Structure 1
């Protein structure tokens, strides 16, 4: 039995992939301030790292829960588990930002954008609704829009996975084709491609989340899985082609690379030092970027420094700060929450 066929087995290359995606998203956001790589190319498309997370989320959940029981108690148990994984880190960063805004306000410092400390927007983030089209803009911990749409996916996952595993091979391929077509339509009709966050994020998320689910189903249906280098080669080709042809093509490449990483005959990314550890830390790394960015932006504004003039220095300083804060949040919040969950529900 391969690791893919054992739902309890870890897939370390996928954990390492999370590390790569976290680096890609961080580089994209840092580049908006530091301009070390221009607006195009690999770094300029780093917002698509989030799409990689959406694919991974659907895949890993389905690997762990290939045929979720269809009962109210099973639904509630699944949702509770997902909420405990998401919410403590999300809430911790929101509280940190709230303290920062209150402290700054007491010192006479106002946010550069009024929505950054808006009460209505804070409530939306607390309720994980800020990625569902209700938010007015980039506020509070703005990367949490993706956590909001992930939560929407989790709410529908038990039913979606149950339906997907009723497809035969032809139905699975047809469903994947429909998802690709939907994503292509979103890409072509959006002025910013798939770089959609507060408005249109669900249209970006659901085809990708479903594609991750359907990949697990397809791999279970194939009588003989092709060597990993075949989808890997296709993925690398589509990834490079997508930078010129459109975001949906790039996501198709990421999907093929996910296939490769899920079915390797030998470790691929796990051989790179530090990637698995970074992948395990990827969620807090993603979530704590906002408070780190706010601190550095304040430093630049106060000292009248131009960060683009020493972009390498500031890039290292920002990444080190993100790693440190992510480690603190993981140590004090995320891991204790998960340990508590495991202690209370050893079957999960």
Structure 2
């Protein structure tokens, strides 16, 4: 049996944390809703989901747990290069798709935008940087996001960095050193919260390094939870844990955000990960959680092109409350449906093709043919 067959068998026999998959989907819906509401409530204290951006920190923590669970016991056998190629195959097709959708929305937005203000060369360069996750915050019409054609890609940039650091450093170190790094990162989270008044940074040029702090603590915390086996067996349902997760996103904004947000990231999210890993499911909820987990990443990476069009529409047309509610609800449903189509038609087939090509190459290398 070759390495890839062993890997596939290992993953099939390992326990799967379906509740965590489901919570990932809940967090993805929360962040999409937050992005809708950002346009409506420029004052975050009036936004009912004003802390929806913290979903990214939950993603980071979950990522650390999942990466440790999936690769700690096999990365040394598969090798660093194979690990990194696997992560690129898993993540990058949707980075490209999100960039293409963002470019199309920029050029053909029916409700506004000013692509004519930018040279063809600048647009091409920005698109190139978006595809290859090279930060370039130069498009004013896109809020000077690090990745102008797909703003959420800033978190994927740091996800890649975390995966690289894991491959070269984190998988080799013991739990005591991991705990020390986590504590130091926790102090950095507290500093960022106090300095900025919140943890919203990471997506723009001026807040670039805030993103490094957010990924550092949460990824390390997730990895520490896995390695310490801090799994809390419980009878909380998926619905119960989803409500607990949503409470973090809808908690009121106040002058104490600099304190409340770090507390959520440092303690509340890790506890939810531990609870989610220890929860059990009925068959009906299991299917829902599996679907929720599968759709979460495609939804996260494809929704923002529509959000810019929504923003321009809202700014120019000022729809009433009833109309706005209908637009947002319909938008969420349509975005989930579109994400599903992207996943089934594009993402899964492409990842399967790339994985097969990679496996063929590895088989030839093992046979000494190349």
Residue aligned with 2:29, SS: helix
Show the counterpart of 1:74.
79
Show the counterpart of 1:84.
89
Over 6 Å off, 4+ runs: 240-243
C-alpha displacement of 1:191: 4.2
Residue aligned with 2:55, SS: helix
Tell me, yes or no, if the aligned pair for 1:34 and 1:315 is still in contact at 8 Å: no
TM-score, reference length from structure 2: 0.75
Residue aligned with 1:163, SS: coil
Residue in structure 1 matching 2:292, options 278, 293, 296: 278
Structure 1: gaps (5+ residues): none
Residue in structure 2 matching 1:310, options 314, 323, 346: 323
Show the counterpart of 1:186.
192
Tell me, yes or no, if the aligned pair for 1:289 and 1:322 is still in contact at 8 Å: yes
Q: Tell me, yes or no, if structure 1 residue 293 matches structure 2 residue 307.
A: yes
Q: Tell me, yes or no, if structure 1 residue 167 matches structure 2 residue 175.
A: yes
C-alpha displacement of 1:110: 2.1
Do the aligned partners of residues 109 and 315 (structure 1) sit closer, same or farther apart at CA in structure 2, a change above 3 Å counting?
closer
Tell me, yes or no, if the aligned pair for 1:7 and 1:65 is still in contact at 8 Å: no
Residue aligned with 1:43, SS: coil
Show the counterpart of 2:349.
336
C-alpha displacement of 1:24: 1.3
Show the counterpart of 2:273.
258
Q: Which moved more, 1:254-263 or 1:320-329?
A: 320-329
Deviations 1:51-104 (A, max 9, x none): 100111111011001145458x71111111111111111112212333444456
Q: Tell me, yes or no, if structure 1 residue 205 matches structure 2 residue 210.
A: no
Q: Tell me, yes or no, if structure 1 residue 58 matches structure 2 residue 58.
A: no
C-alpha displacement of 1:33: 2.6
| RMSD, aligned α-carbons | 3.9
Do the aligned partners of residues 151 and 262 (structure 1) sit closer, same or farther apart at CA in structure 2, a change above 3 Å counting?
same
Do the aligned partners of residues 313 and 8 (structure 1) sit closer, same or farther apart at CA in structure 2, a change above 3 Å counting?
same
The whole-number CA distance in structure 1 between the counterparts of 2:296 and 2:186 is 27
Do the aligned partners of residues 281 and 104 (structure 1) sit closer, same or farther apart at CA in structure 2, a change above 3 Å counting?
closer
TM-score, reference length from structure 1: 0.79
The whole-number CA distance in structure 1 between the counterparts of 2:80 and 2:62 is 21
Corresponding residue pairs, total: 328
Do the aligned partners of residues 112 and 51 (structure 1) sit closer, same or farther apart at CA in structure 2, a change above 3 Å counting?
farther
Do the aligned partners of residues 75 and 259 (structure 1) sit closer, same or farther apart at CA in structure 2, a change above 3 Å counting?
same
